[in-house]
């Protein structure tokens, strides 16, 4: 049996314990803060600190481009490709916005992390039995407080680095809410920790913020309208990922 490489040992015996400590301490602070901060702003600060610590401990540098394309104070729906568990720390630590995610329902059952997400106002979706009207109502409640959303529109992490087709469901909600879509291209996180591998490595990541795409003003948007908007956002993100991605990154 071959001896695991250095970065496996570093991940298992250093990074995982360190990230566990960050999660417990900052998750607890976030949960306690929810007792007096109903908007979740302090909890989001905890999430940003958690993200920064994870990146620093793993030795991941992030170069962000395109922030000047955004208007401060505007509420956006950020739509990103999904390559790795490290996408979320990269996005949270880099974007100066109050962010909430749409996560699968199973995450709500995780100790500390799930409690933080629920108390911090993040949205959970039961993929087996979605409730579009309920999701839209909660979405609008968040938007009314000036909170922006992050969506991984592929629905799962990519195994080969290619950007899969964007699912239309979230884009239909975006049209109904009348919010601009901001395509985000995350490049390099697959080299840090690809899907299916319990090992992280230091790396350099790029986060490209593209021009916002206004949601079409439609009284009764259809799935076809949502698919057209999803395809437009996908084309922008996929082109950037294909242009910048390292062809030697692990698969």
- On whether residue 35 sits in a domain, the answer given is yes
The answer to whether the pTM exceeds 0.95 is no
Residue 91 resides in a domain: yes
Number of separate domains in the chain: 1
Residue 92 has what pLDDT?
Answer: 95
CA 67 to centroid of chain Cα atoms: 16
- Does residue 251 belong to any structural domain of this protein? no
Question: Strand, coil or helix: what is 149?
Answer: strand
The whole-angstrom separation of Cα 222 and Cα 226 is 6
pLDDT tens, position by position, 57-84? 999 999 999 999 999 888 899 999 999 9
The position carrying tokens 């109903």 is 38
Closest to 120 (Cα-Cα) out of 131, 133, 107: 107
In which domain, by residue range, is 37 found?
6-244
Q: Are 153 and 233 in contact (CB under 8 A)?
A: yes
In a domain, 141, yes or no: yes
Give CA–CA dist 6/10, Å, rounded.
6
CATH of the domain at 23: 3.40.1130
Residue 249 included in any domain: no
129: in domain: yes
Give 190: exposed, middle or buried? Use CB within 10 Å, 0-12, 13-18, 19+: buried
Q: Could you tell me the sign of the dihedral formed by the alpha carbons of 215, 65, 190, 43, in that order? A: negative
Do the domain assignments include residue 1? no
* Within-domain flag for 113: yes
- As a whole-number percent, the residues of the chain with pLDDT over 70 amount to 85
């Amino acid at each position: 049996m071959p001896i695991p490489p250095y970065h496996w040992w570093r991940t298992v015996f250093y990074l995982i314990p360190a990230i566990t400590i960050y999660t417990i301490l900052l998750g607890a602070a976030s949960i306690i803060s929810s007792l007096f901060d109903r908007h979740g702003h302090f909890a989001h600060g905890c999430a940003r600190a958690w993200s920064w610590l994870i990146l620093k401990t793993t030795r991941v540098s992030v170069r962000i481009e395109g922030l000047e394309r955004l208007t401060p104070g505007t509420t956006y729906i950020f739509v990103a490709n999904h390559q790795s568990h490290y996408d979320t720390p990269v996005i949270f630590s880099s974007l100066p916005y109050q962010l909430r995610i749409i996560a699968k329902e199973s995450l709500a059952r995780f100790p500390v992390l799930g409690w933080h997400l629920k108390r911090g106002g993040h949205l959970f979706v039961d993929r087996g039995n979605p409730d579009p009207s309920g999701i839209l109502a909660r979405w609008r409640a968040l938007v009314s407080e000036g909170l922006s959303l992050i969506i991984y529109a592929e629905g799962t992490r990519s195994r080969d680095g290619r950007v899969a087709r964007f699912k239309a469901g979230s884009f239909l909600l975006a049209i109904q809410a009348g919010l601009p879509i901001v395509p985000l291209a995350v490049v390099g996180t697959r080299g840090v920790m690809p899907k299916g591998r319990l090992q992280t490595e230091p790396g350099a990541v790029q986060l490209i913020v593209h021009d916002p795409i206004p949601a079409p003003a439609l009284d009764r948007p259809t799935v076809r309208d949502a698919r057209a908007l999803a395809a437009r956002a996908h084309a922008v993100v996929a082109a950037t990922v294909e242009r910048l991605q390292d062809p030697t990154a692990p698969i």
